[in-house]
Structure 1
Amino acid sequence: MWNTASRLLELLSRLQSRGVHSAEELATEFQVTTRTIRRDIARLRDLGYPINTQRGDHGGYQLDEGATLPPILFTLEEAVACLQAMRPDNTGEATDYAQSALAKINAVLPARLSSQLAALTRFSKSLDGRIFPIEAHPVPAELIAQLATACRSGHQLVVSSSDRDGRTVERTLEPAQITHTMERWYLTAYYLEAGQWRLFRVDKFDAIRATERPNYPRPLPSEDMDDWVFQQLRGGWQQVSALVRVHAAADRVRHWIAPAWGTVEAESERSCLLRIGADNHTAVARWLLLLESDFTVLEPVELRTALSELAAQAAAYARAQ
């Protein structure tokens, strides 16, 4: 249930989204009566907020166009969304505009949210890795903020998740960094029971519990953590691999190959070597046809077979009446 103060703040945030909001709609959203909503609107007007009442079947409450309002009220979910949208591009270069916008957002957040956003900014990353649509696995913003805060605190976490048989498994982790890539969130952490660094899918976590036990001072698994994350991901879904010479400049080919799926090495001004992997050779063959460049398969022979089968299938479709 909402208390009066938090409801008023959230109601103002709702009205800031523009449009007309009926009393019935707002009452349902805040789980109160329409009479309570009308009283809340009156309180906001008394505080100087220019809220109009629209009459009629499609009536409701609306802020005046061009109204001057105090700083926008961000929820944690909105703050995380802004952070994700303003991340540096694939070259790792953040624009001055993005940095300035993040600073302004952080300045208007309450202390608790500001602290969580600061932890997210420092201990989370977004890496390019999606070529084709992949099933997204949303994670609550509160959980992401908790993990980022744990990374900053330098204390161990106890994470609960379910194994393949549905049994609850607890792991003790020393969290270091969270990463968003391939439409998913991952946690890089030292897994104490296994005695090694691992990458964990955050959407698999059922619960986390912070402890007072400090992390042991140990080096990260790699100096290039972006590459380490991609290496861990590749090991999970690349069942086959291939080496291909593409008869085009490396910069032209890199546009099509995200780091999580393969690497592109310049061979000359007009050719490059592509090392790529996927679930099967047919998937690799389909990717190669998207390059819009000539290529030569160096290995394996199974990839040549997959390309021949695709060609036969395409020819059959072309002949079909």
Structure 2
Amino acid sequence: MNRTDRLYALVEELRAVSPRPRSARWLAGRFEVSTRTIERDISALQGSGVPIWAEPGRTGGYVVDRAHTLPPVNLTAAEAVAMAVALHRLGGTPFAGAGATALRKLLAVMPAADAAEAHRLAGRVHLIGDGPATPVPAVVADAVSARRVLRLTYADRAGTASAREVEPLGYLGNPRHWYLLAWCRLRDGLRCFRTDRILGVEALPEVVTRELRLDDLDIPHERVRALSLV
């Protein structure tokens, strides 16, 4: 077992028995290395931010904070590629960048052999087109997450531009376009702003306190589906 694999296995061993401790001698026997090697490994893990501490005494040893460490990510190659295909469809949405980052993080913690197989499988998948064509400006996406008021320059269907302050409340999306749902202070009402018609945008310091209600949408409820993480 190389050192990287041993460090990972050490954390998992400590997680499995937490909050009970494991002594350096026990861990040395488990991983067939010296106690000095275990002590160096534990020090390296602590230095990288893993919450491990030593409990003194005859029955003491090393303990990891289970609540602040994660179990291994056991994605199969097919599951990783399925996520990549789904994320491809996020192109142009407010979450395209975050989705790509999440996939890279998942691939980074997959076992090397599984990650390599995922890359091989992905190489056999070919997609046509780049997903939705309408981009969502990064300032808009950040403002929805941070609940910040925006100052927009927006072009209507006829191309006429107007400036207004809006309170971002959420998004409405379909396969072709994404819309910013916001309370328009100019019109004193809820409006949908197609993101590719936003000509200019500036985030203001003011925090949005208003909440989006489904009843505020002038759309039949049966046509609107809220996103769920379950």
* TM-score normalised by length of structure 2: 0.38
Higher relative contact order (CA 8 A, sep 6+): 2
* TM-score normalised by length of structure 1: 0.29
